């Protein structure tokens, strides 16, 4: 775990001292301050209390507690009420009605209401929706803002270089709609309920269940009533088991159950690791005079340097009030641990081109979420006995278009079509108790989703060159615009995002401007605006495999990047109450479920697990 060669001799002594001097508070005086910082955890305060790290089997506080779970059976269980999960549910019920078959479809969603954890730009390409619900307009789908103008810029600190969007370039938005995805997902939820899907928002899938033969049996929802220290409260109740013939996992980008399934079924052995970005978003009510409904603006360049992937979006909505949805995306393969995506976002708003739109307006919403950038190179094996993966969980985002909703929806629909004949068949001959539907992966490879992803597969990796952004744009211009992605080679990514950080001493800290309270804001007031909250008395759901790694490694080598990349201020390094040194404080209640920490932690020590259902952000139409 710790490559020995990277540590100085002082650090070696420190680590040895830790192993022998456990429990002693005073650090021997011969060590320097740096080492005292690193080995302050001579007695590391216990941080993680979650039962996934500290098992309840041997915990005396759990003796005699009833651990039986109530179980119920459905035909299909879907984890996640986002575009993919809901499209799969809707398609299943449509097929059931068409063929006059009974089908019990249950969908569990960790947010308190469908749409409350949904966050996206978003410019929706209606291709999948046209296929799923052709009469969406009559049914009142909230696609109210067709894109009327596309503006693309390269920003410098003070100026803007306009870039023409020639037809055929991936970021052209003709025919698309600017939507508030949370509202669209809510509408999809209503359509699903009308068709008879059982929706259970407020209940998180916390555990995957397996048959004796190793196939997936279903999921179990989270236990409730566990205290912060891991002991059972009076109101403790076990979660419920939902068994199904097929379980579809649509947890969105970097799902926590998907992470377990990758290991369990070795789904990632023939694909590249997934690469990610973090997207931060705000919604503003602006001055009517500045409002241009239907305008979609994108930019690259300032404030990021040419080697850090990222850019911005600003969409003018047309839903009555003069609202704009704007945000900033930073690729999580950035190398400087002093980079703070949140603060880059805040200072981007001060650029004259952006400030002109926002001046006189007020911010009404904030949120953040990680998104996939791996494209077709990073798609894992999609099916396994008893289940399959849909949506952004395996990751079908078209990166240069920055659109993943239409492909997620299509993947859900194809999964439903592959699974339906199997779950309704009389006397199906199956090798395993949980049904396997490899047809889903086959039909996906033959569909427009795959064609689209294949054509753009080399654009994101083309940024890994000396010229960074400019090299990538040049590559896109030649190989995508002219040759439509038909080049015979496939470029690779550079490996795990978590491995890309350089040690802090090799990088320069970035001087971010103070928030001015009018255009830019501080982190905590932004988090308050996301409406996020969790039951306080529960174990922190940001679990650490080892409680001493944050201070010993993350802080010592990388100066604690988690305090900068978390868009909700969950991670703070605070001085110890007694003696010298720091400790990691996890403010789990602030978490907005973006998953960035699980992705970017250079020690891969943080394991995000799902908290009690109903907790998390309360996004409204984000």
Of these, 53, 240, 355, 510, which contacts other proteins (CB under 8 A)? 240
Nearest distance in Å: CB 233, other proteins = 8
Count of chain residues binding other proteins (CB under 8 A): 32
Taking CB under 8 A as the rule, which mask of x and - marks residues 468-507 in contact with other proteins? ----------------------------------------
Of these, 57, 138, 234, 429, which contacts other proteins (CB under 8 A)? 234
Report the alpha-carbon distance of residue 392 to residue 396 in Å, rounded. Answer: 6
Of these, 67, 425, 482, 528, which contacts other proteins (CB under 8 A)? 528
Of these, 214, 225, 294, 438, which contacts other proteins (CB under 8 A)? 225
66 binds other proteins (CB under 8 A): no
Nearest distance in Å: CB 240, other proteins = 4
In the complex with other proteins, the residue whose CB is nearer, 14 or 114, is 114
Question: HSE-up of 79 (CA within 13 Å, CB side)?
Answer: 35
Taking CB under 8 A as the rule, which mask of x and - marks residues 174-213 in contact with other proteins? --------xx--x-------------x--x----------
116 binds other proteins (CB under 8 A): yes
DSSP bridge pairs for 295: 149
Nearest distance in Å: CB 277, other proteins = 27
Stretch that binds other proteins, among 46-54, 435-443, 525-533, 552-560 (CB under 8 A): 525-533
In the complex with other proteins, the residue whose CB is nearer, 244 or 402, is 244
Residue 183 neighbours by CB under 8 Å, 6+ apart: 115, 142, 621
Between 405-424 and 83-98, two packed helices, what is the crossing angle to 10 degrees?
40
Enzyme catalytic residues: 120, 369, 405, 566, 591, 594, 597
239 binds other proteins (CB under 8 A): yes
DSSP bridge pairs for 366: 282
Looking only at residues 315 through 334 of this chain, which bind other proteins when binding is defined by CB under 8 A? 321
Of these, 80, 115, 404, 539, which contacts other proteins (CB under 8 A)? 115
Nearest distance in Å: CB 365, other proteins = 9
In the complex with other proteins, the residue whose CB is nearer, 417 or 612, is 612
483-491: long-range contacts at Cβ-Cβ below 8 A with a sequence spacing of 24 or more? Answer: 484/455, 485/454, 485/455, 485/456, 485/457, 485/458, 486/455, 487/458, 489/458, 490/377, 490/457, 490/458, 491/457, 491/458, 491/461, 491/462, 491/464
Pick left, alpha or beta for residue 24 (phi over 0 → left; psi -120 to 50 → alpha; otherwise beta).
beta
Whether the CB-CB separation of 374 and 453 falls below 8 Å is answered with: no
Strand order from edge to edge, sheet including 205-210: 71-73, 241-243, 216-221, 205-210
CA distances from 150 to 120, 157, 230, 327, 590 (A): 18, 22, 52, 16, 35
237 binds other proteins (CB under 8 A): yes
Of these, 533, 546, 587, 604, which contacts other proteins (CB under 8 A)? 533
* Six-digit token string for 500: 């890309």
CA distances from 236 to 209, 223, 225 (A): 21, 7, 4
- 468: closest CA among 335, 312, 305? 305
Report the alpha-carbon distance of residue 573 to residue 599 in Å, rounded. Answer: 19
364 binds other proteins (CB under 8 A): yes
Task: Give residues in contact with other proteins (CB under 8 A).
Answer: 70, 72, 108, 112-113, 115-116, 182-183, 186, 200, 203, 221, 224-225, 233-235, 237, 239-240, 285, 321, 364, 528-529, 531-533, 618, 620-621
């Amino acid at each position: 775990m710790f490559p020995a060669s990277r540590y100085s001799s002082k650090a070696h002594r420190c680590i040895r001292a830790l192993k022998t001097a456990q429990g002693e508070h005073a650090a021997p005086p011969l060590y320097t301050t740096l080492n005292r910082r690193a080995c302050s955890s001579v007695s590391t305060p216990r941080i993680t209390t979650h039962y996934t790290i500290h098992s309840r089997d041997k915990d005396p506080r759990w003796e005699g507690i009833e651990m039986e779970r109530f179980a119920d059976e459905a035909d299909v269980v879907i984890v996640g009420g986002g575009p993919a999960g809901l499209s799969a549910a809707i398609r299943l019920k449509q097929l059931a009605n068409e063929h006059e078959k009974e089908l019990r479809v249950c969908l569990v969603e960790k947010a308190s209401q469908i749409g409350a954890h949904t966050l996206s730009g978003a410019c929706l390409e209606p291709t999948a929706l046209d296929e799923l619900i052709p009469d969406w307009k009559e049914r009142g789908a909230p696609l109210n803002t067709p894109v009327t103008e596309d503006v693309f810029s390269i920003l410098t600190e003070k100026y803007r270089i306009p870039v023409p969007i020639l037809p055929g370039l991936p970021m052209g938005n003709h025919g698309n709609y600017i939507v508030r995805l949370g509202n669209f997902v809510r509408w999809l939820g209503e359509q699903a309920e009308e068709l008879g899907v059982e929706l259970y928002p407020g209940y998180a899938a916390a555990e995957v269940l397996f048959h004796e033969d190793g196939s997936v049996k279903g999921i179990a929802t989270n236990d409730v009533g566990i205290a912060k220290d891991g002991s059972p409260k009076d109101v403790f109740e076990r979660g419920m088991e939902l068994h199904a013939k097929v379980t579809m996992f649509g947890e969105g980008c970097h799902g926590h159950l998907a992470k377990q399934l990758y290991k369990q079924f070795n789904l990632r052995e023939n694909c590249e690791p997934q690469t990610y970005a973090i997207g931060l978003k705000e919604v503003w009510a602006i001055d009517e005079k500045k409002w241009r409904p239907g305008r979609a603006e994108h930019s690259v360049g300032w404030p990021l340097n040419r080697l850090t992937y990222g850019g911005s979006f600003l969409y003018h909505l047309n839903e009555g009030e003069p609202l704009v949805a704007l945000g900033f995306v930073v690729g999580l393969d950035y190398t400087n641990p002093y980079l703070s995506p949140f603060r880059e976002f805040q200072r981007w708003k001060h650029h004259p081109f952006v400030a002109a739109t926002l001046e006189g307006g007020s911010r009404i919403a904030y949120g953040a979420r990680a998104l996939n950038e791996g494209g077709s190179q990073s798609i894992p094996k999609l099916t396994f006995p008893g289940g399959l993966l849909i949506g952004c969980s395996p990751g079908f985002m078209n990166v240069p278009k920055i659109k993943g909703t239409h492909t997620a929806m299509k993947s859900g629909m194809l999964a439903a079509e592959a699974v339906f004949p199997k779950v309704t068949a009389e006397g199906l001959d199956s090798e395993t108790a949980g049904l396997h539907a490899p047809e889903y992966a086959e039909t996906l490879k033959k569909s427009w989703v795959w064609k689209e992803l294949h054509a753009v597969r080399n654009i994101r990796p083309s940024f890994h060159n000396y010229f960074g952004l400019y090299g990538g744009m040049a590559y896109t211009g030649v190989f995508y615009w002219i040759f439509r992605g038909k080049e015979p080679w496939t470029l690779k990514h550079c490996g795990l995002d978590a491995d890309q950080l350089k040690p802090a001493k090799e990088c320069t800290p970035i001087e971010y401007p103070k928030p001015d309270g009018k255009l830019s804001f501080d982190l905590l007031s932004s988090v308050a605006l996301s409406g996020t909250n969790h039951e306080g008395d529960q174990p922190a759901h940001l679990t650490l495999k080892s409680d001493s790694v944050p201070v010993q490694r993350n802080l010592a080598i990388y100066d604690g990047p988690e305090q900068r990349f978390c868009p909700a201020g969950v991670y703070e390094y605070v001085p110890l109450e007694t003696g010298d040194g720091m400790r990691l404080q996890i403010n789990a209640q602030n978490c907005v479920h973006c998953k960035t920490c699980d992705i970017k932690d250079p020690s891969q020590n943080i394991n995000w697990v799902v908290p009690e259902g109903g907790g998390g952000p309360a996004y409204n139409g984000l």
